[in-house]
Every structure is written in structure tokens, then in C-alpha cells.
Amino acid sequence: MKTPRELILGRHQTAGARLKAIRAEELAACARSAGRATGPRQPAPGLASAVADFWQETFWPWRRAWLGLAALWVCVVAFNLASRETPHTAAARPPQPNPEVFAVLQEQKELLTQLLGLGAPPLVSQPPPRGPRSAAEPAPAKTEGAGSPEPTLRPERVALA
Amino acid sequence: MPVVTEDLQLPVREARAGEPQAWETLLARYRLPLYAYVYELVHDEQTSLDLVQESFINAARHLHSLRQDEKFGSWLFNIAHQKCLQHWRKHHPAEITIDPLDEDFPELEPGPQELLIRKEQEEGFMRLLDQLAVPHRAVLLLHFVEDFSLEEIAGITGAQLGTVKSRLHYARKALRKLLEENEP
């Protein structure tokens, strides 16, 4: 009568000689070099031990999940910063004048100056120079009783008034 | 032959320090059981020798990471089991089968020492062992060869405790049936 263990091990007794090729000296050398590479195993005291335990038991087995979470947070923070930057820069930047609007405004000012005629001061300090009068343009009316025609007010004089 | 020698006196600390004599003791204790376990799973002498040697070398390299010295046996078998799994994945991927449903079974099974096999049943026992699916065989071998607890077997094979119970129950049932059939 044999136990299953005896039966199973007895089946492989002949392999014993070949198994002796595994040398204890080589294994000891492996263990020594691995021990040297990792340093002596000493119990870390207090806080260091707790941190080491936390690292080994909580972080290390789930390192990929933790790294994934960290990457996700980095993405969230980066997105948040990027989206916050846009209104700030828009507010800080002064509005650029539209050249077309500016031209239209200039034209309006000139028209206003012409319409207001003599009494009103021009809105612009430097009005555009007057070109030669065209033939179609009517000459200024002469005042009765006046010896000499009243001179046309120049823009400079209007500005002075 | 002693059933399973006590592991309390194993010189694991000395082996970690790189003492050849300690490794000689560990080799003497585990060389043959580990080979038997690996051989019964892979069924090739040279592959088994290679896997056992690789397992011991891995153990020597990573012994500093073993936290409980008294678990050296199950830790070493776990390394060998992983080696076998790598071998299967490489050469016989179809052999790794999936269990049916995990079930809880009563733990009323006798220990491996209590089961005795008569001379005329030996052939049938080994044949039955070979016929079992690889996961069932692995569980039964760990139970018989080293008398590992269910938790240790679960740790070695990477299976759930319920799965280990299920596999052991199934394997032992088949074995009992065989022994009853061969009753005089």
C-alpha cells in the first residue's frame, strides 16, 4: 500500500541523478548577486516602513491603474487651463479699429464739416486740403453793398474761432 | 518515505544570504517533488528538467522578495507553475481548458496521507492522473505531492478558492470511483 505521494515521487526517482545537475553553488551565487543588487533586507523603521508597505501593497499591484488615473488628471488640468486662457487673452487684447469703419467716420466728419459750413468748428484738427473748385460748383454769392467780396473762411480760421 | 517533511527548519534566510549549504538543503527537499509536479504536467523529461532548473534559478534571483520564509515551498511551486503555463501557451495552447461553474463543496475530503493505493491500483491511478484535464491534474498533484492547503493551491495556480475546491472535488471523485472499481 502506498500513498499517492509515494507513488508519484517513486515514478520519478530515476530522474534524481539528472536533477543533480542543478548546482547549489550556482544558485547561491545567483542569490548573492541578486542580494547585492537589491541591498540587504532590513526592516525600515516607522514612517518609512509604512510608506514602503503602502507602496508595495496599495500602489505597486495597481500601478497601471494609478498611472492611468494620473494621466487622466493631467489631461483634465491641461484642458481646464487651456479653456481658461482664451477669455483672458481676449479681454486683455485692445480692440482693433476697423479700417473701413474708420474711413467711413472720416468721410462723415468731412460731410459734417461741409454741412455745418462756417459757424461750426471742424471735428478734425487737420481737415483734408481743399482741391481746386470745379466749374460746376457755384461761386459764392456777393453781398449787396459790400465793396469787396467777403473772403471765404479758411479751415484754420474756423478752428481758431 | 516521509509524507511531507516539515518546512519550519528550512534555511531560507541563509539561502538568501547566498550560502551554498542552504541551497543544497533546499534542493534536496524540493528537487524531486518539483520535478514530479512539472513532469506530470508537461510529460517531457528534458522540458521538465529545464523548467525545474529555471524555477530554481528564478527563486535564487528573487528570493529577497519573499516576505514570509515559511511560504518558500508554495512560492517555489508557483514559480514552476508559471513556467509550465508559459510552456503550454507556447506549445499546447488548446490544453488549457476552462472549468465549468465554480461551486462550493464540503471540505470533508480525507487528507492525501489517508488515501492508500494498493499495488494493483497503482497503474490505474497514474493512468487516471494522466487522463485528467491539466487544471484538475495540477490541483490534485499539489494536494497529493506537497499537501498544500486549498488557499496555497489557489495561490500557486492563480485560481479562485472556489475553483480549486471544485477541481479537487472532481479529481478526488474520479479517483475514488477508480479505486472502488478495482476493489477485490
Q: Using a cut of 0.80, tell me whether the model's pTM lies above it.
A: no
SS3 B117: strand
Please indicate, yes or no, whether residues B131 and B80 belong to a single structural domain of this protein.
no
Which among A17, A158, A2, A101 is positioned nearest to B179, based on CA atoms?
A2
Please indicate, yes or no, whether residues B84 and B132 belong to a single structural domain of this protein.
no
Cα-Cα-Cα-Cα dihedral of A30, A33, A39, A42, to 10°? 40
Which among A33, A27, A1, A30 is positioned nearest to B31, based on CA atoms?
A27
Please indicate, yes or no, whether residues B90 and B125 belong to a single structural domain of this protein.
no
Please indicate, yes or no, whether residues B80 and B151 belong to a single structural domain of this protein.
no
Please indicate, yes or no, whether residues B127 and B88 belong to a single structural domain of this protein.
no
* Residue B105 domain flag: no
Cite the DSSP H helix spans in A20-136. 24-38, 46-54, 63-92, 99-116
Q: Are A18 and B49 an interchain contact pair (Cβ–Cβ within 8 Å)?
A: yes
* Owning domain of residue B21: 12-95
Residues in chain A with CB shorter than 8 Å from the CB of B17 are: 31-32, 35
**In residues, how long is chain B?**
184
* Residue B138 domain flag: yes
Grid coordinates standing for B70?
515559511
ipTM: 0.79
Q: What is the CATH number of the domain that holds B49?
A: 1.10.1740.10
* Residue B7 domain flag: no
Q: Where are the domains of chain A?
A: 7-39+48-91
Total domain count, chain B: 2
Which among B115, B128, B118, B99 is positioned nearest to B183, based on CA atoms?
B118
List A residues 37-56 in contact with B (Cβ-Cβ < 8 A).
38, 41
Mind listing the pLDDT tens digit for each residue in B95-115?
555 444 444 444 445 555 557
Candidates A1, A2, A30; nearest CB to B57: A30
Report residue B29's pLDDT band, with 50, 70 and 90 as the boundaries: very high
Q: What is the DSSP string of B89-119?
A: HHH-GGG----S------S-PPPTTT--B-H
Confidence at residue A71, expressed as pLDDT on a 0 to 100 scale: 94
Mind listing the pLDDT tens digit for each residue in B153-177?
999 999 999 999 998 988 888 888 8
What lies within 8 Å, CB to CB, of A147 at 6+ separation is none
Report residue A115's pLDDT band, with 50, 70 and 90 as the boundaries: confident
Mean of per-residue pLDDT scores for chain B: 82
Distance, in Å, from the CA atom of B68 to the CA atom of B76, rounded to the nearest integer, reads 12
Better-predicted residue by pLDDT, B55 or A146 = B55
Report residue A157's pLDDT band, with 50, 70 and 90 as the boundaries: very low
Candidates A6, A12, A30; nearest CB to B35: A12
Confidence at residue A145, expressed as pLDDT on a 0 to 100 scale: 45
Distance, in Å, from the CA atom of B151 to the CA atom of B162, rounded to the nearest integer, reads 10
Q: Are B36 and A2 an interchain contact pair (Cβ–Cβ within 8 Å)?
A: no
* Residue B79 domain flag: yes
* Residue B82 domain flag: yes
B108-137 mean pLDDT: 76
Please indicate, yes or no, whether residues B66 and B31 belong to a single structural domain of this protein.
yes
Q: Is the pLDDT of residue B134 over 80?
A: yes
Q: Are A9 and B36 an interchain contact pair (Cβ–Cβ within 8 Å)?
A: yes
* Residue B104 domain flag: no
* Residue B127 domain flag: yes
Distance, in Å, from the CA atom of B28 to the CA atom of B30, rounded to the nearest integer, reads 6
- The neighbouring-strand residues paired with B117 are A2
Q: Which DSSP state fits A57?
A: I
* Residue B68 domain flag: yes
Please indicate, yes or no, whether residues B33 and B70 belong to a single structural domain of this protein.
yes
Mind listing the pLDDT tens digit for each residue in A54-95?
787 777 878 889 999 999 999 999 999 988 766 555 556 666
pLDDT over 70 percentage in chain B: 82
Q: Are B60 and A8 an interchain contact pair (Cβ–Cβ within 8 Å)?
A: no
B51-67 mean pLDDT: 92
Distance, in Å, from the CA atom of B22 to the CA atom of B11, rounded to the nearest integer, reads 5
